[in-house]
Structure formats: C-alpha cells, structure tokens
C-alpha cells in the first residue's frame, strides 16, 4: 500500500490552488459587471440606430431614458432628437422593433412646443389622476410601474408624455 506524503513544496502548490479557487467567484462577478456596462451601452446604441434608420433626418442624442412606457413589462428607450429647428422625442419599444417619434416646435407662441433650448427629457411617474388637473386623458391608465416622460426647457410649462392605451402609441398633454 502506498501512502501519499505531502511535503512543504507540495503544500505550497495546494495552498496556491486553494487561493485561486476561492478567488474565482469574485473574479467572475467582476467580469460580469464589466460586461454589463458595454451591454447597456450596446442596447442604447441599438435604440439610437433604430431611430436613425426610421428617422434619418433627425440627429438623436446617445443618452436614453429607460423605463417601461407602454406597460408590457419590457424596458423601452426614449431619446431626444433635433432637426430643422424642432425637438423630437423618439421611442423604441423593448422586445420589438417598433419605433415612433413625436416632434415639437421651439417657440413660445405654440402649444405643441418648448420655448427654448436646451431641452431635457426625464422619466416621470404615471401614478396620478390627470382628471384633477386637466380632465380625463384618453387612453391614460394610472400605474405604479409604467412610466411617462417630461419634456421641458425650464421656461414654458412642461410637456408630459404618456402611453395612450386606446390608440397604442405615445401621446402628450400640458397645462
């Protein structure tokens, strides 16, 4: 019968192997985190590409507002765009190839407009009752999970965008 004798040289190899194996889970986590950043940028890049293909005359911002806008449980993307002195809000629905765009003037004299640049686009809650402020909104559904958007410039009243469930597209309102 043979016996395995572990000497000082073999012990250091076993210790080294043990150190490598215990370090692997943290290394895997670091690699996954490193992959998540480019993946997010890639998805955002794909939404800009989809908008640029559908609306080639518009220069789309690379940053996106990401949320579920239509209530299907998928992450959707919203981008600001500019062309011919107008502001565009482009929507790319997650889980599909569907894109749509709304355009607004830059003018204090129009209702469907912001007053000036720079424009900002931010996510806002859809957990409110618009009837209290402006009356019923066609196709609006109050929701704790579905989000809307607010387009503003800091001068005029903001434009609020919401998903119109009756017509199956993004709609807007302002006071």
Q: Each residue's pLDDT tens digit in the chain (175 positions)?
A: 444 444 444 455 546 645 654 555 554 544 433 443 333 434 668 999 999 999 999 999 999 999 999 999 999 999 999 999 999 999 999 988 899 999 999 999 999 999 999 999 999 999 999 888 889 999 999 999 999 999 999 999 999 999 999 999 999 999 7
Calpha distance 106→155 (Å, rounded): 11
pLDDT at 19: 61
pLDDT at 33: 37
pLDDT at 3: 44
Residue 15 falls in which region: left (phi positive, over 0), alpha (psi -120 to 50) or beta: alpha
Q: What SS3 state is found at 12?
A: helix
pTM of the model: 0.75
Q: What residues pair up with 105 in beta bridges, in sequence order?
A: 86, 113
Helix (H) or strand (E) segment spanning residue 61: none
- Sign of the CA dihedral running 101, 107, 112, 114: positive
pLDDT at 124: 97
pLDDT at 132: 83
pLDDT at 95: 87
pLDDT at 43: 62
pLDDT at 97: 85
Q: Which two three-digit tokens encode residue 95?
A: 């889980």
pLDDT at 40: 40
Strands (E), the chain: 59-60, 65-67, 76-83, 86-92, 99-106, 113-114, 120-126, 143-152, 159-164, 169-173
């Amino acid at each position: 019968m043979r016996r395995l004798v572990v000497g000082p040289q073999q012990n250091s190899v076993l210790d080294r192997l043990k150190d490598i194996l215990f370090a692997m889970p943290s290394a895997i986590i670091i690699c996954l985190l490193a992959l998540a950043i480019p993946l997010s940028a890639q998805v955002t890049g794909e939404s800009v590409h989809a908008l640029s293909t559908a609306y080639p005359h518009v220069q789309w911002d690379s940053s996106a507002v990401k949320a579920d806008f239509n209530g299907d449980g998928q992450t959707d993307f919203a981008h600001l765009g500019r062309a011919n002195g107008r502001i565009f809000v482009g929507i790319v629905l997650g889980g599909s190839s569907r894109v749509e765009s709304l355009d607004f003037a830059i003018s204090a004299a129009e209702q469907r407009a912001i007053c000036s640049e720079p424009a900002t686009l931010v996510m806002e809650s859809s957990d409110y009752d618009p009837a209290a402020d402006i009356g019923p909104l066609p196709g609006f559904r109050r929701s704790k999970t579905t989000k809307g958007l607010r387009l503003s410039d800091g001068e005029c009243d903001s434009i609020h965008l919401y998903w119109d469930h009756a017509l199956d597209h993004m709609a807007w309102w302002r006071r």
